[in-house]
Amino acid sequence: MKSVGLIVEYNPFHNGHAYHLQASKEAAQADVVIAVMSGNFLQRGEPALVSKWQRTKMALLNGVDIVFELPYRFATQKAESFAFGAVSILDAAHCDSLCFGSESGDLSDFLQTIDYLKEQQNPYNENIKSHLDNGVSYPKALSLAFQQLPAADNYLDLAKPNNILGLEYIKAIQQQKSAVRPLTIARKNADYHDEHFASATIASATSIRKAIFTNDNNQTEIDQYVPEQTKILLKEYIHQYHGFHQWENYWNYLQFRLIHSSPSELREIYEVEEGLENRLQAAALEADNFHQFMQKIKTKRYTWTRLQRLCVHILTNTKKEEMARHSEKATYLRLLGMTSTGREYLNKKKSHLSLPLISKLASFKEKEINLDIKAARIYSIGIPGHLKAKMLRQEFEQPPIYIMEK
């Protein structure tokens, strides 16, 4: 069975995702679609709109065959670490190819750019350091440093977020000497960070979430941008948990952590650079909500995304030494869901998987998964009262979701 891998968040699953999924399957001529999906906290430093279990259902009902969880230690990281962890999961699952969306849509652009960066490695790194020393954010420094190289205009546009991710996917494949074959398709209509609807049927997940929260969880404005199954599952989640997850749900807990912690305790948190702890604490005392807090701490040097990721680590009390203990690659495959086609694939590959396959958390005793357990506990406090316990029990008791295909 030929397989294609997708690295996703599905926050939530929308028409653009459906297009990417189908186009990837066709490009790879695949029988099986394997998604590596972020858990409850995401790469941009946000809690997912709905839980990983609900997003797994969205994926399976819209054409994905297997969903593996991308662990917290990769899912909440910069592009390089995010990509490296996700590729290691696809490699362990013996996935034949990885297809990613990009602004370029041409794989040769990526391969030529990677070769060019290897040739220009020393001046490129010097340029990056120079921009960082001048207080520029890391993503901006990468883009500016690349633009300074001779003939850089003939290569990939590294100012585009999906091009950056795609480049990291291919670098990860090469570094891991993986047999996974990279493929790319051009993104359709909506840009990754678009906050407004720009077409009749395709919208970014960012604009969809904004429409939901602006309209007090009312979904009518997003109907034309998401498949029917997504509409049903979002309504089901609201009915079950009385709301969606967003940073404001967690503000009081984050504020308490910031005010209660000493500066030395904050310096131990992953991604907190020395001196930043004072700025964080001062803003926490003054801000009335999360958005106001973010506006107070935002600087030219630190992107909104970087600061949100830092806030996730403070919220979950994830320390530098804790992250440093973990391997660069994934050490387990946590199965969140599968279709009957996915089950057939896993039955054929099971004895050849290079990592342990976890189908139920209660039976897995390794310390490697502790970060995911902690993240699940924190995620559950973003919903009302007695429902917290219900959500947390699901983390330990939920078997992989199974969808029987017609």
Q: pLDDT digits over 81-116, tens only?
A: 999 999 999 999 999 999 999 988 899 999 999 999
Domains and CATH numbers, the chain: 3-103+184-245+328-403 (3.40.50), 247-324 (no CATH)
pLDDT in tens, 276-292: 999 999 999 999 999 99
Q: Which H helix or E strand runs over 357? A: strand 357-358
What integer pLDDT is reported at residue 162 of this predicted model? 87
pLDDT average, residue stretch 243-256: 96
What integer pLDDT is reported at residue 158 of this predicted model? 81
- 8 Å CB contact between 377 and 40: no
Tokens of 122: 């020393």
Using only the alpha carbons of the chain, give its radius of gyration. 21
Other CB atoms within 10 Å distance of the CB of residue 354: 12
d(CA 347, CA 371): 28
The owner of tokens 């996917």 is 169
| Confidence check: pLDDT of 139 > 90 | no
What integer pLDDT is reported at residue 197 of this predicted model? 59
> What amino acid occupies position 185?
I
pLDDT in tens, 27-74: 999 999 999 999 999 999 999 999 999 999 999 999 999 999 999 999
* C-alpha separations of 64 from 7, 75, 312, 323 in Å: 12, 19, 28, 30
Q: For the chain, give me the number of helices (H) and strands (E)?
A: 19, 8
Give one DSSP letter per residue of 175-232, joined into a string. HTT--PEEEEEE--SS-TT--S--SSS---HHHHHHHHHHTTT--GGGGGGS-HHHHH
d(CA 69, CA 120): 36
What integer pLDDT is reported at residue 306 of this predicted model? 92
- Its pTM stands at 0.94
| Confidence check: pLDDT of 360 > 60 | yes
pLDDT average, residue stretch 244-255: 96
pLDDT band at 12 (very low <50, low <70, confident <90, very high): very high
| Confidence check: pLDDT of 224 > 80 | yes
Closest listed residue to residue 90, CA positions, set 345, 293, 359: 345
What mean pLDDT, rounded, does the chain reach? 91
DSSP annotation of 401 reads E
d(CA 314, CA 261): 10
| Confidence check: pLDDT of 171 > 60 | yes
pLDDT in tens, 343-352: 999 999 988 8
d(CA 322, CA 162): 29
What integer pLDDT is reported at residue 101 of this predicted model? 93
pLDDT in tens, 174-211: 999 999 999 999 986 545 455 555 566 888 899 999 99
Tokens of 365: 């005793």
What integer pLDDT is reported at residue 193 of this predicted model? 53
Q: According to the per-residue pLDDT averaged within each range, which of 63-72, 218-227, 364-373 is highest?
A: 63-72
| Confidence check: pLDDT of 374 > 70 | yes
